[in-house]
Amino acid sequence: MSARTVDDLRLDDAPLALASGLLDGRTAIVSGGGSGIGKAAAWVLARLGARVAICGRNPERLEAVQSAFDARGWPILAHPCDIRDEAGIERLLDAVAARFGLPDILINNAGGQFAQGASQIAPKGWRAVIETNLTGCWLMMQAVARRWIDGGRGGVIVNVTAANGRGMPGIAHSAAARAGVENVTRTAAVEWAPHGIRINCLAPGLVDSGGLSVYPEAARAAFARANPQRATGDPWDIAQIIAFLASDTTRFLTGTTITADGGGALWGDLWTIERPVYFSDSFQKAEIHVA
């Protein structure tokens, strides 16, 4: 896919890296499956043979994906759910169980944040982002893992985080939440290994998924400078790594984070908010006053 739209026909035609039929008979839940990376992941998983359940807050987005799947004859359950609502998560899992049985795969992809300087973030905004990206992700993984453990069987979890190794200027709340998810992933990977549960994270850099439209124009124009490839990522490529992590191909991999950021962890410059003048090329060192 050279253009970065998450367009249905492009998702049909984009080449698959994994073997067709690899996920035959598996059921996967994809949170945030109505848009962007989650939608691309739902497509990859279905093209590999999985039955897919998608959730998100906005029913219209889910229904559009459901219609596309129905038109292709792919089994799908679209169930609105806010991942911050534990009772809602139980209803989602009950609906999946009634339609497909216990899931085999959880793709914890739902998330997001708003860009704001760290000193400006209001307590309510901080809590909203932590609740979404840390607590929501945790509630999903715990609820699914409990059902696997109670059912005496294992499963695979893929948590979509964000490349945060050098911090994430302009989205401090999300940086904290994603680091928390990566650590609880390492922890749960050990605790739940005896139950046959594998769990890994995929940390994307900037991916042109449509989700980036929430950022200011000036920030978006600079996003391709965030890595040495000087490019934003493609949702299809991210979706294929998700499927790779969800498949038995990676059965010896657990508790790790794969970063897919075009090398941004090594070099690049990313500000999701306007960069302070202190960091501009024209700023004179002599202007720095150290108390």
Ligand X SMILES: NC(=O)C1=CN([C@@H]2O[C@H](COP(=O)(O)OP(=O)(O)OC[C@H]3O[C@@H](n4cnc5c(N)ncnc54)[C@H](OP(=O)(O)O)[C@@H]3O)[C@@H](O)[C@H]2O)C=CC1
**Interface residues with ligand X (CB under 6 A)?**
31-32, 34-38, 56-58, 61, 82-84, 109-112, 132, 136, 160, 162, 204, 206-207, 209-212
Shortest distance (Å) from residue 123 CB to ligand L4XM7KOE: 8
Residue 207 backbone class (left: φ over 0; alpha: ψ -120 to 50; beta: rest): beta
Per-residue binding letters, 6-45, with ligand L4XM7KOE (x by CB under 6 A): ----------------------------------------
The tokens describing 155, both together, are: 């499963």
* Burial of 254 per CB tally in 10 Å (0-12, 13-18, 19+): buried
88 contributes a contact to ligand L4XM7KOE by CB under 6 A: no
CA–CA distance, 19 with 153 (Å, rounded to integer):
25
Within the chain, strands assigned E span: 27-31, 51-55, 76-78, 105-108, 155-160, 197-204, 257-260
**Shortest Å distance, C-beta 85 to ligand X:** 8
6's tokens: 């998450």
Q: Which is nearer to ligand X, 209 or 247 (CB)?
A: 209
Round to whole Å and give the CA distance between 106 and 115. 28
CA dist., res. 158 & res. 178, Å (int)? 13
Which partner in ligand X, ligand L4XM7KOE, none is near 155 (CB below 5 to 8 A by kind)? none
Total residues contacting ligand L4XM7KOE by CB under 6 A comes to 23
Check binding of 109 to ligand L4XM7KOE (CB under 6 A): no
111: left (phi over 0), alpha (psi -120 to 50) or beta: left
Query: Which residues, numbered 65-84, are part of the site for ligand L4XM7KOE (CB under 6 A)?
Result: none
Interacting residue with ligand L4XM7KOE among 28, 76, 92, 129 (CB under 6 A): 129
**3-state class percentages of the chain: helix first, strand second, coil last, to nearest 5:** 45, 15, 40
Q: What are phi and psi of 85, to 5 degrees?
A: -110, 105
Closest among 104, 86, 85 to 28, alpha carbons compared: 104
Binding mask 162-201 toward ligand L4XM7KOE (x if CB under 6 A, else -) reads xx--xxx---------------------------------
**Shortest Cβ distance from residue 203 to ligand L4XM7KOE (Å)?**
8
Using the minimum distance from each CB to ligand L4XM7KOE, give the nearer residue, 26 or 173: 173
Which among ligand X, ligand L4XM7KOE, none contacts residue 78 (Cβ within 5 to 8 A by kind)? none
DSSP code at position 101: S
Q: Which is nearer to ligand X, 112 or 180 (CB)?
A: 112
- Chain residues in the site for ligand L4XM7KOE (CB under 6 A): 112-114, 116, 122, 124-125, 128-129, 132, 162-163, 166-168, 205-206, 211-212, 214, 226, 264, 270
